[in-house]
Amino acid sequence: MQRLLILALILFHVSLFSQNTAIGTSEKLVFTASYNMSGILTDLAEVKMETSPVKTSKTTLLRLKCTATTYSKWDSFFKIRDLYESYVSPRSLTPYLYKRDIDEGGYYKFMQYTFSHKTHTVKSLKKKRNGKGEIWEEKKNVSIGASTRDIVSTIYNIRNIDFSQFQKGTSKTYKVIFDNKEHVVNIKNLGQEQLSTALGSKMCHKLSISMNNDVLKGSNDNLLWLTADANKIPVFAKFKIAVGNGELKIKFASGLKN
Cβ atoms within 10 Å, residue 197: 17
Phi, psi of 4 (to 5 degrees): -65, -45
Residue 33, pLDDT above cutoff 90: yes
Provide mean pLDDT across the span 212-239: 83
How high is the pLDDT of residue 197? 97
* Three-class secondary structure of residue 65 per DSSP: strand
How high is the pLDDT of residue 37? 75
How high is the pLDDT of residue 191? 96
- For 42-61, the pLDDT digits (tens) are 999 999 999 999 999 989 99
Residue 41, pLDDT above cutoff 50: yes
How high is the pLDDT of residue 15? 36
- Per the DSSP assignment, residues forming a β-bridge with 111 are 100, 126
> From residue 49, how far is each of 1, 25, 70, 81 by CA, in Å?
16, 12, 15, 14
- For 122-177, the pLDDT digits (tens) are 999 999 987 777 889 999 999 999 989 999 998 898 888 889 999 999 988 778 99
Asked which of 4-8, 41-45, 211-215, 221-225 is least confident by mean pLDDT, the reply is: 4-8
- Strands 171-178 and 234-241, bridge-based pairing: unpaired
* Proportion of the chain above pLDDT 90, given as a percent: 64
pLDDT averaged over every residue in the chain: 88
Each domain of the chain, given as residue ranges in start order, spans 2-254
Instruction: For domain 2-254, say whether CATH 2.40.360 is its number.
Output: yes
Residue 242, pLDDT above cutoff 70: no
How high is the pLDDT of residue 222? 87
How high is the pLDDT of residue 54? 96
How high is the pLDDT of residue 63? 98
How high is the pLDDT of residue 13? 37
Tell whether the torsion through CA atoms of 136, 180, 6 and 17 is positive or negative.
Answer: positive
How high is the pLDDT of residue 185? 84
